[in-house]
Amino acid sequence: MIYSENSKYIVECENLVKIYKTKDIEVVALQGLDLAIESGEFMAIIGNSGSGKSTLLNMLGGLDKPSAGKLVVDGKNLSKLSEKQLNEYKLYSVGFIWQNNARNLIPYLTALQNVELPIMLAGKSGSRGRAKELLEMVGLSKRMESKLSQLSGGEQQRVAIAIALMNSPKLLLADEPTGSVDTKTANEVMDVLRDFNKNLGITVTIVTHDRQLSKKVDRVVAIRDGRTSSEFIRKKSYAEELAEMKEGIVNEETEQTHVEMVVVDKAGRLQIPREYLDALGLKEDNKLIVELDGSRIVLFTPDKLRNKAAV
């Protein structure tokens, strides 16, 4: 993997490792994770609790550093940045949306004042005009003077999106952005994020445990046990699917929006989806036989050697 300012990738993770150490215990959160995100992508990272997705998000946001491996965002190797450079990165290169709005918003300020704050802290002028523009873009032109208690959960999340975009970041990170709202509001929040991605070219990366979000993004990367295990790639553009739905075209193919691909890392390691193993009653310590069958790699259990039942 080549790291350069001219790379088409805004995020490049290579053999990323993160180990948390305390006095009595050592926890490995990431175990050699590889990931590349192209500039302008609208994608999601999914995984169960403890899979390592939140650790990865914190490192992409400059809130934590890897124990080993390379992490390059927007041409910057985050492991080698000074404290001053890291602060500049967090201020200008990346925007963050938290699930908990208490981390996004200051309750005694109005929506407009909340959105103005990042530019004011950066010592820039012209913050009010930019803040008003962003609030209009997220559909809150009539709620600018409202305080947190006067806004619904969905409106609060829209303010949080505007705040994250105030300094015109190249990468927008969202931690469970729809986790605390109902389905209708969640769809509205996702549509706002997609509009910014499409119209402003901002790379949007969403971290979630909700697989249903895959229908709203172009690519989904699944993380399991600190490594990327599979990817879901959209068959056709979201715009094409919306056009088909408006014309009343709905069939089995359009309902299956993505194709799943299992990831094989550079060491040749393969993570088989847990549901496949569970369906066959396989335990973690089970051994599988591997055979090359023409253009296919076939895995099967030793007790089915005669029949060669594919896993």
**Number of Cβ within a 10 Å radius of residue 215:** 16
Tally of structural domains, the chain: 1
Contact residues for 252 (Cβ-Cβ < 8 A; gap 6+): none
Of 149-158, 204-213, 264-273, which range is least confident?
A: 264-273
> Which residue has tokens 């201020």?
91
Q: Over 90: is that where the pLDDT of 243 sits? A: no
pLDDT at res. 126: 65
Q: Confirm whether 295 is domain-assigned.
A: yes
Q: Confirm whether 104 is domain-assigned.
A: no
Q: Over 50: is that where the pLDDT of 11 sits? A: yes
Which range of residues forms the domain containing residue 299?
Answer: 272-311
Pair 203, 39: CB distance under 8 Å: yes
For the entire predicted model, the pTM comes to: 0.80
Per-residue pLDDT tens for 37-76?
999 999 999 888 778 888 999 999 998 889 899 999 999 9
Q: Confirm whether 311 is domain-assigned.
A: yes
Q: Over 80: is that where the pLDDT of 166 sits? A: yes
pLDDT at res. 189: 86
Structure tokens at 309: 């039942």
> Which residue has tokens 């704050």?
117
Q: Confirm whether 67 is domain-assigned.
A: no
Q: Across 17-26, 108-117, 207-216, 230-239, which has the greatest mean pLDDT?
A: 108-117
Distance between alpha carbon 56 and the CA centroid of its chain, in Å?
Answer: 9
